[in-house]
A and B are shown apart, each in its own frame.
Chain A
């Protein structure tokens, strides 16, 4: 997901934020916790639904394949299968969708020390093809319409969970069933 840039800004912040047929979105956030701890939490994919609210469940298929079940309206769900393509402990996790997926997507999350002991800079970058067809449109509407906003929200929830130990809510009572 890198190509020569004219300035030092990441691709996702440039006016041309596409790579071939892929749209690139992403976000950086600084989390006041050690790099190793954040990497370890993320690398255990069964933790991800705790802050990725669109993800209903995650199922491991063999050693490097993961099936993501994504929530859709009216009780429907959509499945995406990904394979881990890159994994450096404490630094980066990358994934690609497989031929079994209904959409094409790839992404990576990196963990880097923030300056002056301010914790860790976590950057998530996701490339995807804007999906086509009826199912594609449904999927787009459900969870791809604003992948940038979704990435921002998920990273913020991750930060809350890691720093504060819980995800803030203004609700005065426990949710009854099925949030959002």
Chain B
């Protein structure tokens, strides 16, 4: 089969690999029909996530048709499914408590050692996202092996085309959980850093959860326009002093909740970020956290901090004093996708949530390397790429 393959920093190619096969009883094999490039794939492209090996197949946002089933799968050949990026067993303490991304049993034992040393506990598993999360082959491919198929995959009813439901795999539930973690109350102002896919879905979700005012911060005019379409106000950090503007737009109080939908590769020519960029060039494991620092300082006293943005290593110049003295609460984590699947599928079906606005480019899988480059370098116009395999 053909698959998008990581060879090194800034080097991804579509190569030919052996087709996957059923390995464990709960597996299925999926023939991929649509797969997207995620902003977090760009962290792999840029080489800031440790634990990658040349030859790894990327992609954790995908859907397709079941073509083979293991003996303990509950799926049937021919079914159309969207697959959550988190690989979760459904039976451990964490899965039973709906904390699917913390599943104990998805990450192969021998792959758990590295993150256990790095973070104190082993990470859960994900598709196509380094050997820290299991070394599973991803879905930017013609075929993919899907473990625990009786728990994760979301069966899609006829009549809902791929582009409407594909983002149930990651970015829609991630934006939704980001808004949920902001614990929105009546009258709240929610500030969202990053008008990328997750930030835009966080805006849409926060609106549905009843936020009074949403302010989205970015520097790409087109992406800010998309946020405006969903009723958000915008701040362009290249034109405006962000913290001053946030105070002035909230009656001198500051946002009640802040969402960092940027993560470890924040932009901006400011002192802390310039230092972070230099450290990140030296090696993976150093995070660039300008957006998060700014969010912590902007958040009102006793406010809530939600971090869906991806971080992997160490962040210094962390304003811990501001967190403590202002009494901030922080909630973060990889998304518990399976927790939200059915509710979000229903909202899409009923027309309450639209995801197709985001897609700027639909391309064949063979064009994936070019798409990676553009998605990273032309962020204003390239808001989301969906790759088609057929």
Contact = CB atoms under 8 A, between A and B. Distances in A.
B271 to A, nearest CB: 41
Interface residues of A, number: 22
B18 interface: yes
Interface stretch (B22-30, B41-49, B197-205): B22-30
Interface stretch (B129-137, B255-263, B308-316): B129-137
Given A32-B92, A163-B91, A163-B92, A173 B105 contact: no
Interface string B73-116: 00000000000000101111100100000001111111111000
Interface of A: 30, 32, 118-119, 149, 153, 156-157, 159-160, 163-174
A173 B20 contact: yes
B137 A170 contact: yes
A149 B113 contact: yes
B18 A170 contact: no
Contact of B23 (A156, A160, A163, A171): A171
Contacts of B89: 160, 163-164, 168
B152 to A, nearest CB: 12
Closest 6 CB pairs of A and B: A170-B135, A164-B89, A172-B20, A166-B24, A164-B105, A170-B136
B12 interface: no
20 contacts: A32-B91, A32-B92, A32-B96, A118-B93, A159-B92, A159-B104, A160-B109, A163-B104, A164-B26, A164-B90, A164-B92, A167-B24, A167-B108, A167-B109, A168-B24, A168-B89, A168-B106, A169-B24, A172-B18, A172-B23
Which of B21, B87, B92, B107 has the most C-beta atoms of chain A within 10 angstroms of its own C-beta? B92
B148 interface: yes
Given A168-B147, A172-B18, A173-B18, A159 B23 contact: no
B112 A156 contact: yes
B25 A165 contact: yes
Name A's interface SS. loop
A149 B110 CA distance: 10
A32 B95 CA distance: 11
Given A163-B105, A173-B18, A174-B23, A30 B93 contact: yes
Q: Chain B's interface: helix, strand, loop or mixed, by majority?
A: loop
B18 to A, nearest CB: 6
B1 to A, nearest CB: 10
Contacts of B105: 159-160, 163-164, 168
B72 interface: yes
Nearest to A160: B105
Contacts of A167: 24, 108-109
A120 to B, nearest CB: 12
Interface string B132-152: 001111000000010110000
Given A168-B106, A168-B147, A174 B92 contact: no
B125 interface: yes
A168 B96 CA distance: 18
A37 to B, nearest CB: 13
Given A32-B96, A163-B105, A174-B23, A168 B125 contact: yes
B111 A170 contact: yes
Given A153-B110, A160-B109, A172 B26 contact: no
A172 B110 contact: no
Max chain A Cβ within 10 angstroms of own Cβ: one of B92, B105, B148: B105
A126 B134 CA distance: 28
A5 B307 CA distance: 43
